[in-house]
């Protein structure tokens, strides 16, 4: 068993304090993994474990024109 975990804003309360961002939750999870001598998967390793494409897709930002999304005129 891999003992995988996930973090998300749904897991927002930590010791009675609201997390400021998802990054703060990820930092806490990484710290806990290190305290337990566990390795943290890289984004590429995570994608492979989950069976996702190794090349992340870039989705358009809603309300932004196509040229602004791609950086092309």
What CA–CA distance (Å, rounded) separates 70 from 44?
23
- Give a yes or no: residue 3 inside a domain: no
The total number of structural domains in the chain stands at 1
Q: Residue 31 has what pLDDT?
A: 94
Q: pTM for the full model?
A: 0.58
The answer to whether 68 and 58 are in contact (CB under 8 A) is: no
Residue-wise pLDDT tens digits, 14-69? 667 788 888 888 898 899 999 999 999 988 898 888 888 888 777 778 877 666 55
- Give a yes or no: residue 1 inside a domain: no
- Give a yes or no: residue 58 inside a domain: yes
- Residue 60's nearest CA partner among 50, 70, 51 is 70
Domain that holds residue 33: 9-70
Q: Residue 47 has what pLDDT?
A: 87
């Amino acid at each position: 068993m891999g003992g995988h975990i996930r973090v998300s804003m749904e897991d927002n309360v930590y010791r009675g304090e609201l997390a400021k961002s998802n990054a703060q939750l990820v930092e806490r999870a990484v710290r806990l993994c290190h305290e337990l001598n566990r390795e943290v998967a890289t984004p590429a390793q995570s994608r492979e474990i989950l069976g996702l494409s190794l090349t992340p897709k870039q989705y358009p930002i809603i309300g932004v024109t196509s040229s602004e999304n791609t950086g092309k005129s």
